[in-house]
Amino acid sequence: MMNSSAKNHAHIILTMVFLCISLSLLEPVMGWILILVVCAVVMRSALYLELHKHAPSVRTLNLLALLSAIVLAYFSFQLGVLLGMINLLVLACSLKLMQLRSMKDYYQLITCCGFLIGCGFIFQNSIGFSIFYLFLTLLLLLSLACNISPSVGFDANLKRIAIMAGQALPITALLFIVLPKIGPLWQMPTAKSHQTGLAEQVTPGDIAQLSQSAELAFRVTFKGAIPVPQERYWRALVMEEFDGKTWRVSAERKAIQRQYKRFNKEFTPTLTGKFYSYEVIAEPTHQNWLYSIDVGVPEGPKSANQIWQSHEYQLTSHTPLVSNFQYTLRSYPETPLNQAIYSVDRRINLQLPDTGNPKTQIWVNNLRSQYPDDQEFIRQVLAYFAEQPFEYTLQPPLMQIDTVDTFLFAQQQGFCSHYASAMAYILRLAGIPTRLVTGYQGGEMREQNYMSVYQYDAHAWIEAWHSDLGWQRYDPTAVVAPDRVEYGLRSAIEEAAELIDSPFSLSRYSAIAWLNEFRLLLKDIDFVWTKWVLGFDKNSQKDLIKSLIGELTPKKLALFGLSVIGLIVLLLAFFFLPSLHRKKPDHITLYYQKSEKLLNKLKIYRAKSQGPLDFANNVKNKLPNSLHQPFSNVTHIYMRHHYQQNTNAQKSSNRTRIKQQWQALKKAINRQLKN
């Protein structure tokens, strides 16, 4: 294989790797930069296929770089530091790909692609993307091997990279276990609610959009008893501020929470009754809220140090969830929610908008006059939802003005947030403190091992104050569509599977048995990956090392560290010592090989199937006498050494002469290159 061909192969492999990396960063990279990437790839491919002969001039590339930098600088304030640097790196790589002429350009592009693969793990760390990025890394190494060793065949380079990857695997696994785990060094930008899950405000219809997503929200592994479907209400956020259309987390409640956190006064409810013990692995949301069944409290010192309990029985982490977050809880569903400060709860949860929804106000006044008892009034409101022809749907009509009036008395179609919002407003009009709670309801069990909760399980319900029992949960959706709570969203709404937004989601085809089994198998694999790889944090690492060496003392840790280093040294010795004992080429062969490398500078290469004499004749036809004659002499000495009987004196003379001819060839080539 000729060197120019090998280098072209190296360049096109690098080009395809860069394209794949850029497309995998589709979300953080701006569209116009991706268009520039595609242009660079098309240009490099045209050069490889010899459809075009010349790359753009340096002046053209400099002008393009200047214009691109100005546009990127304009958008950088909106992107933030992290996304701005990633976009800058992709932009620089695309311009460098257009300029790829020298070895320096090639090495710079290889290095930048390695950084981009690392950036990919910031946004995608599932097992599928991890395998994908591993494959791209191996292709980068293959490109590098083809570029450095152009005379070696493609298959040989591929075999060498495969062997090196196999050798690196055990060392990588060992370092993954023992290297200190540190937190992220940057703050990720906040993603949109439909991508990350719930938000701190809810307008009826928002959760309906979220429920068309089959993305994973979190996983739960129960230790012992598993709650029945009617108890699987996963609390996340409490909304207490209402403007007539949208529910929000109360600003006053946030101020109270900040005061409690400042003085480190965490709410600790008194727990009673049975409990469920479980472990949650939450997907990244870039927010602080967590998920639990009421009343959830951290189990074990690890989770207690990570979680804060608020007076609304809401759990939050001390830091945003920028990666998979693993924590252990105990939930006590029989514990009454009456242990917070009632005066504060009452003041916040009786707030009403000044205007709007006049029909609902009149209807509530009439109903309240008939049923002054709070519990009887609530039963009548639920009966209204049951008796009227309400419809539970993911595609409710728009309700822009007096949304509660329109929903209750005109359209009577909606999703869970419509029902919860309307009932909370009704109870507040009746003087009953009420708040809206958002989270998830249900979950998909996998052979009694773990439960997966998806975005389409998003749900909203209400809590109303009971004078004796405290906050009580009411779910008007369960009255209209009881199958939603008992069997899940897809059983309650026939078109739910078809409404899942991604056409490639296997959840759309769960009715097909073999596709559903394949989907569940993929979920099982992803669960193992998430739990044992992505969930392997500094606490898990500490527990593992403690199980190996016992109590963690400085002396034991030092010995453990030395043992790990020793094991790595032994592995390296096992891999590389055998190659050191291989027979090295003799003096004559060594100088012949060095002479071949000198000719490589003139882009003359010996094919793998070509003999020394044929190669010497090929050199003679291509180079002037001052260049080919020294190499011809080197070749004749090499052939005589290997194929003729030589006395000791002749062997000594051959060694001296071949070195002289090599030096003459080297000087002649250096003069040629300077000219």
- Look at residue 501 and give its three-state secondary structure: coil
Q: How many residues would you count in the chain?
A: 675
| 532: DSSP letter | I
Q: Which residue in the list 418, 459, 628, 641 is annotated as catalytic?
A: 459
* Tokens 């759309």 belong to residue: 508
Q: Which residue in the list 294, 374, 457, 475 is annotated as catalytic?
A: 475
Q: How far is CA 522 from the centre of its chain?
A: 17
Q: Which residues contact 668 (CB under 8 A, 6 or more apart)?
A: 626, 627, 630
Question: Pairing relation of β-strands 434-441 and 233-239?
Answer: antiparallel
Check if the beta carbon of residue 640 is closer than 8 Å to that of residue 646: yes
Region for residue 222 given its phi and psi (left: phi exceeds 0; alpha: psi -120 to 50; beta: otherwise): beta
Check if the beta carbon of residue 497 is closer than 8 Å to that of residue 507: yes
581 given a catalytic annotation: no
Q: Within a 10 A sphere around the Cβ of 363, how many other Cβ atoms?
A: 17
* Tokens 């949109």 belong to residue: 192
Contacts 24+ apart (CB under 8 A), 491-497: 492/392, 493/392, 493/393, 493/394, 495/394, 496/211, 496/394, 496/456
Q: Which residue in the list 112, 402, 416, 418 is annotated as catalytic?
A: 416
CA distances from 442 to 174, 222, 312, 457, 491 (A): 39, 14, 21, 6, 12
- Three-state SS across 591-643? HHHHHHHHHHCCCCCCCCCCCHHHHHHHHHHHCCHHHHHHHHHHHHHHHHHHH
Question: Pairing relation of β-strands 413-414 and 391-392?
Answer: parallel
CA distance 503 to 510: 13
Q: How far apart are the first and last CA of the chain?
A: 28
In the numeric block, which tokens belong to residue 218?
């979190």
CA distance 278 to 119: 33
CB half-sphere exposure, 559, CA atoms < 13 A: 9
CA distance 663 to 631: 10
CA distance 671 to 550: 68
CA distance 86 to 72: 11
CA distance 447 to 524: 11
642 given a catalytic annotation: no
Query: What values do phi and psi take at 599, rounded to 5?
Result: -65, -25
Cβ-in-10-Å burial (0-12, 13-18, 19+) of 133 comes to: buried
Check if the beta carbon of residue 341 is closer than 8 Å to that of residue 288: no
Q: Which residues contact 321 (CB under 8 A, 6 or more apart)?
A: 282, 283, 284, 285, 286, 287, 288
Q: Which residues contact 430 (CB under 8 A, 6 or more apart)?
A: 364, 367, 368, 374, 377
CA distance 191 to 72: 20
CA distance 178 to 557: 11
Q: Within a 10 A sphere around the Cβ of 482, how many other Cβ atoms?
A: 15
In the numeric block, which tokens belong to residue 44?
């490099």
39 given a catalytic annotation: no
Residues that are catalytic: 416, 459, 475
